[in-house]
Amino acid sequence: MSDEVWGWVRAAKRIAVLTGAGMSAESGVPTFRDAQTGLWAKFDPSQLATEEAFRAKPSMVWDWYAFRREMIAKVEPNAGHKALADFALRYPGRLTLITQNVDGLHQRAGSRHVLALHGNIADDKWLDPPKACCNAAAAVAGSPPYCERCGNLLRPDVVWFGEPLPLRALAAAEEAARACDLMLVVGTSGVVYPAAGLARTSAGKVVIVNPHPSDLDDAADAVLRGTAAQLLPQLLED
Ligand SMILES: [Zn+2]
């Protein structure tokens, strides 16, 4: 752990934190590929996680998500998730949390107002723009659930291949990057858009927390080699 970086955290008035898959590694969240077991082994996730696939075979895609939801429900937030949530509680308004993860572990650790750039696998939304009759709480149970009046289907509220990121969350993330004194980039390779763009437009210092080299290391003011669960509790403690 670097005393210098610890000092930057103490001094920063606005901290943006961007987390990726490595954030949840110690929670044991199965990756997209890990979920391809048993019955699902013969399917390619890129063929399932699309709007076209869902429209063509809604119940197959829904069941695949139900399986992934079950796997994710069994894992727990780690010490890194908790450190971020605790810091935000102690210092309201100082930390903006941006995540590429859909596992919902930040939210389960107690973080609020998470900017979930790829959605949250635990949530549903309507496949087609909802009409007045579409009430998710009253959807008819099924695989997938649907609106009894118009037949609109519920789908997982995640960003599928070929879909744009949620505009409001992305705009808020870009604003947080531009306005921060310090950005922590945790457990992301930096290859996946928009992580690289956010880190490179950061107005503040950029600190990478990652046990592995990432494409963003060259843009960083400091690189901390370790995992989120190891390093964030030390970095964010008082
Ligand atoms: Zn409806």
| pLDDT tens digits, one per residue of 15-67 | 999 999 999 988 988 766 666 666 677 778 788 899 999 999 999 999 999 99
pLDDT of residue 4: 92
CA 133–ligand 1 middle distance (angstroms): 4
Cα 148 to ligand 1 centre (Å): 7
Q: How far apart are CA 74 and CA 63, in angstroms?
A: 17
Does 217 have pLDDT greater than 70? Answer: yes
Residue with tokens 């709480």: 137
In this prediction, residue 37 carries a pLDDT of 67
User: Half-sphere exposure of 61 toward its Cβ, with a 13 Å CA cutoff?
Assistant: 24
What is the DSSP-derived secondary structure letter of residue 48? H
Cα–Cα distance, 27 to 100 (Å, whole number): 16
* Side-chain half-sphere CA neighbours of 19 within 13 A: 30
Determine the distance separating the centroid of ligand 1 and the alpha carbon of 136, expressed in angstroms: 9
pLDDT of the residue at 1: 61
Among candidate residues 81, 106, 118, 212, the one labeled active-site is 118
pLDDT of residue 229: 96
Section 108-131 average pLDDT: 96
Residue 118 annotated as catalytic: yes
Cα 124 to ligand 1 centre (Å): 15
Residues 20, 21, 22, 27, CA torsion sign: positive
pLDDT over 80 at 187, yes or no: yes
Q: Find the 31 Cα to ligand 1 centroid distance in Å.
A: 34
Mean pLDDT across 157-181:
95
Q: How confident is the model at residue 11 (pLDDT cuts 50, 70, 90)?
A: very high
